[in-house]
Amino acid sequence: MVMTAKKIIPFMKHINIITILLIVLSLSGCSVSKNILSPNVAPGLFRNTSPTDSSSIGDLPLKSFITDLTVQNLIDTALVKNYDMQIAFKNINAAEVLFKQAKLGYLPELKLQLAASSSRSSDNSLNGLTLKQFTGSAQIEDYNANLGLFWEADIWGKIKNQKAGALASYLQTEEARKAVQTRLISNVAQGYYSLLMLHAQLEIAQKNLKLNDSTLRIIKFQFDAGQVTSLAIQQAEAQQLNAAQLIPKLEQNMTIQENALSILIGIMPTSLAQISGLEKMVIPQNLSAGFPSSMLNRRPDIKSAELALNVANAKVGVAKASLYPTLVITASGGINSFKASNWFNVPASLFGLVSGGITQPIFQRGQLKTNFALAKIEREKIVIQFRQAVLNAVGEVSDELTKVEKLRDQYSMAERRMATLQQASKNASLLFRSGKADYLEVITAQGNLLQSELELASIKTQQLNAVVGLYRSLGGGLL
């Protein structure tokens, strides 16, 4: 079978078009830049730890770690009403919209255009005379309706990288929400524990004030009997006023703390229900931190830093692809007529146009190369920031572990000291009543007891806060 020249030429044209399309499709999405992976910078162990297994309190569900119902209810309210959380959700919604738009990057652009124009040339002009000669009128009308298509082939992976960058940015907003959530949970719990401390200290101050009142009455009886001077009364009154002065100060701090906690959970400042007492708060003893590598997989700020590197990789890919040629295919078709009456006369008014072109940037005053260089520098900065984020995270865990350990020792010693001072205060009161001790010994013992009880409440609150801080720093609190 022999093909004629007239048959061969169209056949070769089809072969060339198919070949070009196959080449374009085979090159589509090719990466022109190499991505940088997140560096492995986590240490093998946390400082001063030697875990026997990989379990960590960061893996515990929130309500298994914080069992107090009051704290749980406050946290539940905060997660719904806190304004920072609401803004974080809106950021996620915005990033999701952008990601959905980026996923459509492979599709062509379509535009519908409707146009009508009318122009009239002067009867004495060359155009007017010519138009009159051929159309009988110097007026030109044109009516056009067309559908246009624009499609860029993703030969070098530019659209692919834009999509990857949008996905990483979307996931970053989710990690940002988790970071806000873990911080919010920690702040609510610690704020509540601080409120419990103030209530406990207020009770201590009120109890100590009653004790001072009793001592002052005894000293006044002794003064009336001529056993002590007015100096004893003055010093006893000063001790009483010192205890009394604490009460409005603690009440002030309680109101301020309630206001701060109310704002944190997203409600108007109000008096919060007081269900638990500081003495009922149980401090967990077995607080396993696990290994740093597992902590990195939980912490939202670390995962966000890793996603930031993905965004930077995508931007480098887009900047690199901009240096290479782009293949753009355009097509348009519709109906066109110079008379409105013939506008929709099909097929006479139909028209069509298809074109394709390759554009290679040659000289743009170094802008494209500069963008590429800046994208690589920015990526290097992201790597440094990732290392810093890991270093900060490991440091936070080490700090909280140290607090938990040392505060436990402090509490044990403060508890023994308070027990000693309680006994000393009782003995001083008994000896004073029997005339074997003077009033100064009683006042000193009561003052020391007051300070030790206040300090013990403060140390227990610090312990509770350190435990919650350790839970958060290990990535706990993600529900």
Q: Where are the domains of the chain?
A: 23-106+157-324+370-473, 109-153+326-359
Which of 40, 81, 106, 88 has the alpha carbon at shortest distance from 390? 40
Q: What is the DSSP letter of 105?
A: T
Question: Rounded CA gap, 146 and 98, in Å?
Answer: 29
The architecture CATH gives domain 23-106+157-324+370-473: Up-down Bundle (1.20)
What is the model's pLDDT at position 25? 46
Tell me the longest C-alpha to C-alpha distance in the chain.
143
147-201 pLDDT tens trace: 888 888 777 788 888 888 888 888 889 999 999 999 999 999 999 999 999 999 9
What is the model's pLDDT at position 55? 84
Strands of the sheet with 109-120, listed across from one edge: 109-120, 139-153, 326-337, 350-359
**Sequence-separated (6 or more) residues with CB below 8 Å from residue 39:** 383, 386, 387
What would the DSSP string read from start to end of 375-403? HHHHHHHHHHHHHHHHHHHHHHHHHHHHH
Which of 3, 87, 25 has the alpha carbon at shortest distance from 327? 25
The strand pair at 350-359 and 326-337 is best described as: antiparallel
**Sequence-separated (6 or more) residues with CB below 8 Å from residue 206:** 247
The strand pair at 139-153 and 109-120 is best described as: antiparallel
Would you say the CATH fold of 109-153+326-359 matches that of 23-106+157-324+370-473?
no
Q: What residues are paired with 148 via a beta bridge?
A: 111, 332
Q: Return the axis-axis angle of helices 439-473 and 230-264, rounded to nearest 10°.
A: 10
pTM over cut 0.95: no
Amino acid, res. 132: K
Question: Rounded CA gap, 211 and 230, in Å?
Answer: 20
What is the model's pLDDT at position 13? 46
- From start to end of 256-389, where are the E strands? 326-337, 350-359
The SS3 assignment for 69 reads helix
13-71 pLDDT tens trace: 444 544 554 454 444 445 567 888 888 887 888 887 776 667 888 889 999 999 999 99
What would the DSSP string read from start to end of 165-229? HHHHHHHHHHHHHHHHHHHHHHHHHHHHHHHHHHHHHHHHHHHHHHHHHHHHHHHHHHHHTTSS-
Kindly give the parts of the chain with pLDDT less than 70.
Answer: 1-32, 51-53, 128, 131, 134-136, 138, 225, 227-228, 274-275, 479
What Rg value do the Cα atoms of the chain yield, rounded?
Answer: 40
User: Which helix (H) or strand (E) covers residue 101, if one does?
Assistant: helix 83-103
What is the model's pLDDT at position 333? 82
Question: Rounded CA gap, 123 and 155, in Å?
Answer: 54
Q: Determine phi and psi for 440, rounding to 5 degrees.
A: -65, -35
Question: Rounded CA gap, 15 and 52, in Å?
Answer: 68
What is the model's pLDDT at position 292? 86
The architecture CATH gives domain 109-153+326-359: Single Sheet (2.20)
Question: Rounded CA gap, 208 and 246, in Å?
Answer: 10
